[in-house]
Every structure is written in structure tokens, then in C-alpha cells.
Amino acid sequence: MSTLSIILPTHNEVKSLGHVIKSWNNYLVKRSIKHEFVVCEDGSTDGTKELIILLSKKYPIKNESSVDRRGYGGGVLSGIKASKYKYLLCIDSDGQCMPDSFDIFWKNKETSDISIGIRDPRMDPIIRKAYSFLFLILHRILFISNIKDPSCPYILAKKEVYLKLVPYCSYMREGFWWGYIGAALKLRMSISQYSIKHFLRYDGSSVVYKPIKMPAIIVRNIIGLIKLRFS
């Protein structure tokens, strides 16, 4: 039996986390896929920590909560190390990445090193899509690829593949998946791309970096991609 660890980096998602775990659990149980949820909670203050404890009584959850903020990438890395099953699926815990599109990923899990989603259409604010488009151009120039959505937080690969890429994942502070896919391309790993149904955030909110922070974030991540490419 193939086994699956779902890694969920989580910060202040008390309104969506239960919905996400219940939906994925029901989906995987129906398909007899043995699984665990590795919830990498990151210093939440809205009751998410307490919710995880309650959900753990009902679902196969490994609680990787942290008192201090370690960032999105830090949460993902913690989940990779803590996971116990052969395949790892990394998704966000905000309800935008649901199981509707997973069948094709699981069916073709042996055909490439990594499977990544293509959000089509992408249900994010226009400003986020604009930033991503500009970074996509840079990413393609640096890594010479045809990856359509390298920042998509819907990634399936064997744990051994994730572990090979971990040493290269320190360059991108905010754009973790940009760096992850860049590293995979740098190491000439095979990558499959599949369209996924992308949802609005379950709690109805949207996440956009504050304008005053954007210049520093943009510069920092451009430098990160360049360092990764030529490291």
C-alpha cells in the first residue's frame, strides 16, 4: 500500500483547518490511502493550537506546533523531517488546495520525481497574481523551464526527493516554492504539471503583503533566486 503524509504549514487558520483536514481525510479514506496530517503550526494566536489538539482526537494528525514564528518555509521543512510515509503532499491549510484534483496526481505518482499543480484559474487578488507573473519571467530566465506555476503550494513527491532538495531551500525567505522548484530544475529532476481547481480562502479573507514591505521582499527574493541558480 502506498502511503501519504500531508504537510500543512499553518498560521492563524482556526476557521479553515478543520474543513481542510475533514475534506482530505474523507477523500483519502474512500480511496483506502493510508495517510497522516503533519500540521506545522507556526505561532498562531487565534485558537489554531487548541483546535489542532481537538482534531488530533479524531484524525491521524502529527502536531508540529511551534511557540515561536519560524516562517512558512520553516514550517514546511519541519513537516518534511517529521513525516513518516513514502509520499509527501504539501498544501496550504487555508482551503484553497482541496482534494478535487488529486486523483491524477496519485495515479501518476511514479511517472516523475515531482508533481506540481497549476492553479487555473488562480483565485488570488490581482496584485498577488501580478507579482507572481513578474517572478515567473525571472524564474524562467534563470532556470530555463516551462513550469507554468512554480509557486503553487500543491506538490507531491517521495520523501527522499524532498530530502534531496532541503539543502537548497534556504535561499527564499517568502517564496519557498519558487526556490524548491528552482532547486529541482537545477538538479535536473523530472517534473509533471497538472491543473488543479483553486478555491478562494475558506474564511473569505485574502492575503496580500503590506505595500510598505513589498520593495524589500521583492529585492530579497530576486537575490535569493539568483543565489540559488549560481550556487
**All structural domains of the chain with their residue ranges:** 3-230
What confidence category does residue 213 fall into, taking pLDDT thresholds of 50, 70 and 90? confident
**pTM for this prediction:** 0.95
pLDDT of residue 1 exceeding 90: no
Amino acid type, 88: L
Q: Is 210 exposed, middle or buried (0-12, 13-18, 19+ CB in 10 A)?
A: exposed
pLDDT of residue 11 exceeding 90: yes
The angle subtended at Cα 10 by Cα 223 and Cα 121, nearest 5°, is 70
How many residues are present in the chain? 231
193-203 core/surface letters (b: 16 or more CB in 10 A; e: else): bbebebeebbe
Could you give the CA distance from residue 102 to residue 100 in angstroms, rounded to a whole number? 6
Residue 106 contacts by C-beta under 8 Å, 6 or more apart in sequence?
A: 2, 31, 33, 156
What confidence category does residue 87 fall into, taking pLDDT thresholds of 50, 70 and 90? very high
- Options 3.90.550.10, 3.40.50.300, 3.90.1150.10, 1.10.287.1080; CATH for 3-230 is 3.90.550.10
Question: Residue 91: its pLDDT value, please?
Answer: 98
pLDDT of residue 221 exceeding 80: yes
pLDDT of residue 207 exceeding 80: no
**Averaged pLDDT score across all residues of the chain:** 95
